[in-house]
Amino acid sequence: MSDKMKIMLVFGTRPEAIKMAPLLHKLREYPEIFDVKCCVTAQHRQMLDNVLETFSITPDYDLDIMKAGQDLTDITSNVLTALRDLFKTERPDFILVHGDTSTTMAASMASFYAGIKIGHVEAGLRTHNLYAPFPEEFNRKMAGMVANLHFAPTQKSAQNLINEGVDSQKIFITGNSVIDALYFMTDKLDNDADFTVKIDHEINSQLGFDWQASQYILMTGHRRENFGVNFINICRAIKHLSVKYPSTQFIYPVHLNPNVIKPVNDILADCPNVHLIKPLNYEPFVRLLSKSHIILTDSGGIQEEAPSLGKPVLVMRDVTERPEAVDAGTVKLVGADYENIIRHVSMLLDDNAYYQSMSGAHNPYGDGTTAEQIVKILENHKAD
Ligand code: UD1
Ligand code: UDP
């Protein structure tokens, strides 16, 4: 019998894949210690596959659950059933899950039922409001409830777990592996000219203007609690801004969720300086992030990446589980509020002092060594 530690990473969406890729690769550097398997639920299909290709990941198991227009019950029940069946033949010592998606929650539950230990990466983020973001606050609390090891990105996220009664011996502050992924990509873009030319061609083929010579705002949006009237407000604010600032370009890679695509197309398709494009692969997205003037988003991961790049971020949410970048001054919460979005974008475009106050580079989420730290901690728990 092998005395290697059997580890299975389980993830399903674009952001989980980006943040788990560095950990998967780092674990595989130690084949004498770890027997590593990668299981994707494919809660996302195309957006996941793009990341798998970027980071050269071939999953050992693909549960292939995505359905167009899936609801939360579809995701949860399909992940639970598929993992129950997989765990009948594959018995890892530990599964590793990431963050707060329904894949994370259901995979944690399936492992708990099967008596398999759980390591939760990006643990302890909280808004303390169960409905914002929905259902992510619930998902991460559920994962935290059954996890055996909690890899918290910051002191604040570790403290949230301690406040909930989690044994402090099981909590490790490791930074966030999104910074590992970001540095991997920015290093490549900075040091490999042929690679950058290729990525720039990829961007050019999607955008019909000279983005390198233009001032542009990069935006994304997909939160479930923003569906409906909030998304309409966001799009109307962008439309207003695009008329007010005709020489500023707005680049918007639109999430594939039909609840997002419809209002975005209905309201913004005819604006000449708003460029609605398909979700970008991680390489061109990081390239565009690093050259953007302002970022407008409701994303979690982008709130972590942008401070490292020194970019002002306006977050179209009322609360955030990532207060570190707000404290550092690079992130501001503007809600999904028509007037507020217009006011803050206008201030950033018109008032240079205000812009400068939000654009210093900060690194609250680590130094790019998160994967390495987690691997060491896992090795120390081999005998558990
Ligand atoms: C999910 C996560 C959210 C995370 C986000 C990252 C849950 C409940 N939500 O939200 O926490 O922040 O991913 O992007 O876990 N679709 C495609 N192709 C894709 C991906 C999505 O067509 O590659 C469409 C499908 O119609 C799918 C829909 O988008 O049914 C919604 O996908 P889903 O994963 O349920 O929700 P997200 O909004 O992506
Ligand atoms: N991202 C990407 N292409 C895009 C938009 C975002 O690669 O077109 C990356 C982004 O850099 C970040 C992650 O996807 O690392 C964020 O994913 P998303 O906003 O979908 O999810 P969240 O972080 O809100 O859970």
Which CATH number belongs to the domain containing residue 331 in this structure?
3.40.50.2000
With contact defined as beta carbons under 8 Å apart, do 223 and 133 qualify?
yes
Ligand 1 atom at minimum distance from 224 CA: 38
Same domain, 259 and 324: yes
- Structural domain includes residue 195: no
Q: What is the dihedral of CA 245, 303, 48, 219, to 10 degrees?
A: -10
Q: Determine the structural domain holding residue 170 and report its residue range.
A: 5-176+367-380
Residues 179-194, mean pLDDT to the nearest whole number: 97
Task: Read off the pLDDT of residues 7-42 as tens digits, 9 standing for 90 and up.
Answer: 999 999 999 999 999 999 999 999 999 999 999 999
- Structural domain includes residue 96: yes
Substitution site in 45, 282, 305 for ligand 2 pocket (most atoms within 8 Å of beta carbon): 282
Active site residues per annotation: 100, 122, 136, 222, 224, 255
Same domain, 31 and 138: yes
Chain center to CA of 130: 19
| 278 alpha carbon, closest ligand | 2
Put simply, whether the predicted model's pTM sits higher than 0.95 gets the answer: yes
- Is the pLDDT reported for residue 1 higher than 70? no
State residue 384's pLDDT score.
75
- Is the pLDDT reported for residue 363 higher than 90? no
Residues 51-63, mean pLDDT to the nearest whole number: 98
Ligand 1 near 305 CB (within 6 A): no
- Structural domain includes residue 140: yes
Task: Read off the pLDDT of residues 213-232 as tens digits, 9 standing for 90 and up.
Answer: 999 999 999 999 999 999 99
State residue 5's pLDDT score.
96
- Is the pLDDT reported for residue 296 higher than 90? yes
Q: Which two tokens stand for residue 156?
A: 């604040």
Q: Residue 383 — very low, low, confident or very high, per pLDDT cuts 50/70/90?
A: confident
- Structural domain includes residue 184: no
- Structural domain includes residue 191: no
Ligand 2 atom at minimum distance from 223 CA: 24
Same domain, 29 and 99: yes
Task: Read off the pLDDT of residues 66-119 as tens digits, 9 standing for 90 and up.
Answer: 999 999 999 999 999 999 999 999 999 999 999 999 999 999 999 999 999 999
Same domain, 325 and 375: no
With contact defined as beta carbons under 8 Å apart, do 104 and 13 qualify?
no
State residue 216's pLDDT score.
98
State residue 382's pLDDT score.
82
Same domain, 167 and 215: no
Same domain, 56 and 133: yes
Same domain, 108 and 218: no
Substitution site in 45, 98, 101 for ligand 1 pocket (most atoms within 8 Å of beta carbon): 101
Same domain, 164 and 207: no
Same domain, 206 and 327: yes
